[in-house]
């Protein structure tokens, strides 16, 4: 496109203006477009600003929704927790929809058990910064590899593993007993009910932690041992007794459950865990 600088006449080609005869020069489209760029850039900046604002609002909305869901979940679990703490027998009526809450409950039980074990041992050895290596090395006859207070996480993580294995032994024993008694029971439902029964003992573990932190070692140690014996040995026996309501030998099956848990515990402890520096001598 050619534009005359004298009369602004536009024409396709030529060196002189067809209107006034003035010499003219060709102006290409890139220069025209360049003249329009500031306005286009301004429009683009405004569009980007609007898009950024919308994205920010969406992210904030998602964040608020996530927080609301977390609060609702915590509220629901707290209600579940308090209800079973007041009446543990309601655990025997739980079904699949309570799977997540039961997993949370038994996980908290194992965690608080491990922390209670740690603080009880610290109290027995004269404080958190005492030398625990001798105590841990002789407890059950195994070397826990402790070398100072900096090994807090090492001890707790090992005890979490031991607690999880001990729970697995009790749960596995329940499956074996029910299979032997020919009772058709959903393994998932059994897991949910047994895990949820840990809630009262979870509270006892918290008490043990507080007693250990307050250096009340003897009471903390007794309570810790009782908690482990009750939940991982006695509760499974009572659960078997409750489920086999019409079985003529349910007393023997209940007692046999406790013996089976102890036997498997000793077997796994002597054949496996002893070689990796752990012990399941919780029962």
Per-residue pLDDT reduced to its tens digit, 10-59 = 777 777 777 777 776 554 444 444 444 555 555 566 666 666 676 766 76
Domain ranges of the chain: 2-53, 87-276
Classify the C-alpha dihedral 212-215-220-224 as positive or negative.
positive
The percentage of residues in the chain with a pLDDT greater than 70, rounded to a whole number, is 73
pTM higher than 0.85, yes or no? Answer: no
Residue pLDDT, tens place only, 127-169:
444 444 444 444 444 444 444 445 778 888 888 988 999 999 9
Cα→Cα distances 42→29, 31, 37, 48, 194, Å: 20, 18, 8, 10, 66
Q: Which residue has the tokens 């360049």?
A: 34
Q: Which residues pair with residue 20 across a beta bridge? A: none
Spell out the long-range contacts of 6-11 with Cβ–Cβ below 8 A and sequence spacing 24 or more.
Answer: none
């Amino acid at each position: 496109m050619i534009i005359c600088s004298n009369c602004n006449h536009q024409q396709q080609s030529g060196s002189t203006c067809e209107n006034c005869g003035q010499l003219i020069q060709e102006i290409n489209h890139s220069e025209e477009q360049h003249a329009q760029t500031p306005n286009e850039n301004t429009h683009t900046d405004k569009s980007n600003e609007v898009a950024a604002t919308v994205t920010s609002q969406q992210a904030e909305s998602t964040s608020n929704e996530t927080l609301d869901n977390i609060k609702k979940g915590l509220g629901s679990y707290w209600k579940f927790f308090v209800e079973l703490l007041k009446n543990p027998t309601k655990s025997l009526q739980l079904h699949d929809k309570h799977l997540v809450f039961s997993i949370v409950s038994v996980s908290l039980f194992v965690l608080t058990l491990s922390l209670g074990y740690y603080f009880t041992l610290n109290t027995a050895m004269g404080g958190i910064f005492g030398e625990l290596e001798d105590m841990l090395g002789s407890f059950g006859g195994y070397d826990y590899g402790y070398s100072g207070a900096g090994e807090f996480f090492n001890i707790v993580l090992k005890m979490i593993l031991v607690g999880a294995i001990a729970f697995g032994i009790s749960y596995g024993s329940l499956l074996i007993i029910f299979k032997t008694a020919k009772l058709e029971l959903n393994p998932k439902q059994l897991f949910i009910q047994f895990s949820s029964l840990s809630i009262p003992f979870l509270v006892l573990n918290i008490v043990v932690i507080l007693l250990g932190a307050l250096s009340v070692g003897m009471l903390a140690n007794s309570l810790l041992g009782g908690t482990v014996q009750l939940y991982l040995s006695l509760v499974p026996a009572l659960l078997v007794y409750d489920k086999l309501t019409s079985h003529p030998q349910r007393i023997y099956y209940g007692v046999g459950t406790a013996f089976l848990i102890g036997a498997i515990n000793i077997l796994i402890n002597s054949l496996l865990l002893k070689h990796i520096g752990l012990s399941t001598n919780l029962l």
